[in-house]
Each structure stands twice: as C-alpha cells, then as structure tokens.
Amino acid sequence: MLQSTTPTPDEIRAVFEDVLAGSDFRRRGVSPIVGWLQTLAEAIERFLSRWIPVLGDTEARVLSWVLIVAVAGTAIYLLLRRLGERAVAPGGVTATSGSAAPRPRDSAEWMAWAREAASAGRLRAAATGVYQATILRLDARGAVRYREWKTPGDYAVEMPATEPLRAPFMDFLGRFLELAFGASEPTTERYEAFAAAASRMGDSA
C-alpha cells in the first residue's frame, strides 16, 4: 500500500525547528522577535507554495503573513485603539477621560494622520494609517465591510473574486504587511510607492 506523502505534524515541526536553528535566523541589525517572524513567514510561504501549488507568489506571501497576523490581530486592534485615544481630535482639541468618546477617524483623517507620522519618520505607523484609510474607502465602495477587529487576512478572504480591485488589493495587503511588520526598516521610497499605489486604488473605488 502506498503511503501518504502528506507530512505529519512532527515532520512540519522539525522543518520549522531546522529553519529557526539555521544561520538565516540570526539576522543582523534586527531584534530576535522580528527576525523570527520574518523567517517563520518565509518558511510558511515555502510550505504553502509546495503543498498548494495553485497559489501564486503574491497569494502565498499574503497567506503566510495572514496566519501570523491573525494571531496578533487583538494586539493590533488594541494598539490602534490606544493611538486613537491619544490622538488630537479635529479642531485641535485633545480628548480627555472626562469628555465624550471621540468619533472614529474617517478616511481623510487617517490619511492626514499618516502624513503626519511619515513626516516624523514613523513610517511603520504611517503605513498603518494608509491601510486604514484604504480599507474605509473600499468599505464605502462596498468591496469589503470595515470592522475594527478585522485583520488583513479577513479582508483578503472577504474581497469578492469578481471584484476588479482584488488583484491590486492582494498586492496592497502584501506591501502593507512588509512595511508594517517586515524585518527590515521601511525606506521612504518604499513607503511613498505604497502610499501612491493605495491612493490610485482608492481613487478607483
């Protein structure tokens, strides 16, 4: 009887242990956590490409990060909520504990926040602002349904296959994950290219 070629959980675990123990894991100039996330994402991408050959390079890359980001979704939500509470409300009034809860930012306000973060050199935070603004634009179009708790993976699954923006949207998610969570610090050129692509996609929405 032919044995199944599907790897067992122990075999998959052994592969990850070999990857994490290798020299590639010891990335210079980055924290161990960031290096671990990048290495794990690359290992998952290779695994998906091997066992699900119908996936393209972009989809395999996005799905590998989705598996990681989904676990950290709650932490990202709490971070964004904390940033929103500390932000200056429209008109220059800072929200205090005794005032009414500030309304959520709209797309234009997220873009303004992103530009302010980018000008201060906080490119990872700026990428998050562009991401939020783009999701809200797509929500207004009806392509996705914005919810604070959703991860990029949720939106990737939710985007209809018939939606003309699906292909650029999947590329957009991949670029966002690399900028916001990648091992290397984002450059100004990469951020500006990401923001320009997001703007074009928003204009089409």
**pLDDT tens digit sequence for 123-172:** 999 999 999 999 999 999 899 999 999 999 999 999 998 988 999 999 89
* pLDDT, mean over the chain: 75
Give percent of the chain above pLDDT 70: 49
User: Are 76 and 119 part of one and the same domain?
Assistant: yes
pLDDT at 95 over 60: no
pLDDT for 150 equals 92
pLDDT tens profile 23-54: 554 545 445 566 666 666 777 666 666 666 65
User: Are 94 and 175 part of one and the same domain?
Assistant: yes
- CA dihedral (55, 60, 66, 68) in degrees, to 10, reads 130
Q: Which own/partner contact pairs does 134-139 have at CB distance under 8 Å and 24+ positions apart? A: 134/107, 134/172, 134/198, 134/201, 134/202, 136/106, 136/107, 136/110, 137/107, 137/201, 137/202, 137/205, 138/165, 138/169, 138/202, 138/205
94 vs 172, which has greater pLDDT?
172
Of 47, 71, 95, the one marking the end of a domain is 71
For residue 200, the surrounding DSSP H or E stretch is: helix 188-204
User: Are 28 and 101 part of one and the same domain?
Assistant: no
Query: What's the whole-number mean pLDDT along residues 183-203?
Result: 86
CA dist 85 and 120 (Å) reads 19
User: Are 183 and 94 part of one and the same domain?
Assistant: yes
3-state DSSP assignment of residue 157? helix
Q: What is the count of structural domains for the chain?
A: 2
Parent domain of 21: 1-71
135 Ramachandran zone, left/alpha/beta (phi>0; psi -120 to 50): alpha
Task: Say if residues 205 and 146 touch (Cβ distance below 8 Å).
Answer: no
pLDDT at 81 over 60: yes
pLDDT for 155 equals 92
User: Are 160 and 64 part of one and the same domain?
Assistant: no
